[in-house]
Structure 1
Amino acid sequence: MEAENQTKISQFLLLGLSEDPELQSLFFGLFLSMYLVTVLGNLTIILAVSADAYLHTPMYFFLSNLSFVDICFITTTVPKMLVNIQTRSKDISYIGCLTQVYFFMIFVGLDNFLLTVMAYDRFVAICHPLHYTDIMNPRLCGLLILISWIIIFWVSMLHILLMIRLKFCIGTEIPHFFCELAQMIKVACSDTLINNIFLYIAAALLGVFPFTGILFSYSQIVSSLMRMSSATGKYKAFSTCGSHLSVVALYYGTSLGVYLSSAMTHSSQKSSIASVMYTVVTPMLNPFIYSLRNKDVKGALGRLLFKREPLVHDDH
């Protein structure tokens, strides 16, 4: 049908979190605050790691990359939402929607890969401490980041190429506050079998495999700690994993919550509200988790903000 022709589609309608006009001002203030806190918090982490020589280690190199990705992650969705609330509009262009899907996929995937790489870093640090500097050398660290970018770049590009072939009806409404891939496939007016198959394959690649890698790393860490005779040594070794474990629990816990919410309820609005947890709240909390639980980061932030003299470094 000509009305369904994809080439005729110039825009979609983002329904947002609520149709209630009285809540729009509340949402605007809330999401603007969370966005600014996220950007400032993660920028502070990046600056602290860059400026402090004591933090020029693989663990904090990966942390600064995670902070950069989190800034990009939240910037992909929230600013457009804020603009729509402010202008009382629900429109998003076809190209803008594809762009959101593309970059959202990239940064979701990078979050998964970075958390896995950080788990591997802790595995090497605790299970092979004498060879840590040799194994986690700058070349390997850079290579791990580069490989992560390359994989997710092509996976996201394939998603977009498959989306371009879909047809959408004029006036298509997206029951979300951003263009999320699964929702886009649901509202398409043409056959989506290939898209769904690739979606499940990508979910395994970007979710299940990295999470399995994290579980394997920590199983080896726990096994290594069990063989330690010193309780102090066990605590000191495992304490370096505390922040990372907290972030992993928060990220995968909220992602699982969104999945279960989508599976158990037919309300798209409830699913979109649940997705706020991992798309907005998690990137906002990550800097606080690392700064509050990690004394090296706290020390670096103190030196950055208050120009304090460096203390003796607690090497990991």
Structure 2
Amino acid sequence: MKKTKQKLDSKSSVKKKHDSFIDSITANQRNGGKGQNVTVEEGKLLKLHKRLEQAEFLLDMTREIAGFESLSEVLNRLIEIVAKELNCERSTLFLNDEKTGELYSRVALGDLEREIRVLNDHGVAGYVFTHGESVIIHDADADPRHDRSIDKETGFDTKNILSVPVRTMGGQVIGVLQALNKNKGRFNKTDLELLETLSSQASVTLAGTQQVERIRKKRAEEMEFLDTVATITAEVDLNKLLGNVVGEITRMLDAERSTLFINDPKTNELFSRVSQGDNVGEIRLPNHVGIAGTVFTSGETLNIPHAYADLRFNPGF
């Protein structure tokens, strides 16, 4: 792995063989051809050399990131490469969260360390994701798509943006790759083409590593669930058993509180046997009222992102 990274950060053996000859042609071009006439063939050779140079670099990059086992390693190295090759202040990769409809940054180069989440149709990244189009923005403050609230949160001053979609081999957009604040000059078409190429090359490894991470996470959750079931079912006292169930639900879902409602057929009421969080005592309500009543009578699961916006929610509880 170190050998591959060294190849990315320094001249390769192929480059070294041609450097002296290519440099002489380049120097002659800068001098207006005074040293010797630059032939058409030499001009073609220069273009070919640049293409070979880029192809070799992309091959080395692909080999390197394909050798990483975790998604975080792939993302971190990709961000480093983008920032270096495009000579920009920061690079960020946004991935789509299909469950929440959000784009989130897993890594960012610079002082930013915490996760950023935005709706996948919001801001410049959201525009690129939903439209599948690459964009160059020379003045971020003048572009209405730029979300200035993120700059306020992070303290980073975004001046110019280069943003491209990350696609799978099947053409599905799974994220957005951005380069921010060109160190010298402005982002141009050449930069755009390079970032699109980097995105395309990395997407194969990225998609594969994402899938592996999903499988690992699912397996870990399944094993944790089995361990939890084994632990709580060993309890013979009903109240302690229910308390353990609610406690594990709260922990596994990373929630503030969980409540278990049980139906009382004599009174047609739902009552809470246990509650996590603040001490609230017993709660009773008609078994057809509120969110709990709706779930009980319908037998359907509800996921309510904004409780106070739902008329069935009773804030008094």
State the TM-score bracket (shorter-chain normalisation).
under 0.3
State the structure with bigger RCO (CA 8 A, min sep 6), 1 or 2.
1
Query: Which structure features the higher share of strand residues?
Result: 2
- Structure 1-normalised TM-score? 0.25
Query: Which structure features the higher share of helix residues?
Result: 1
- Structure 2-normalised TM-score? 0.25
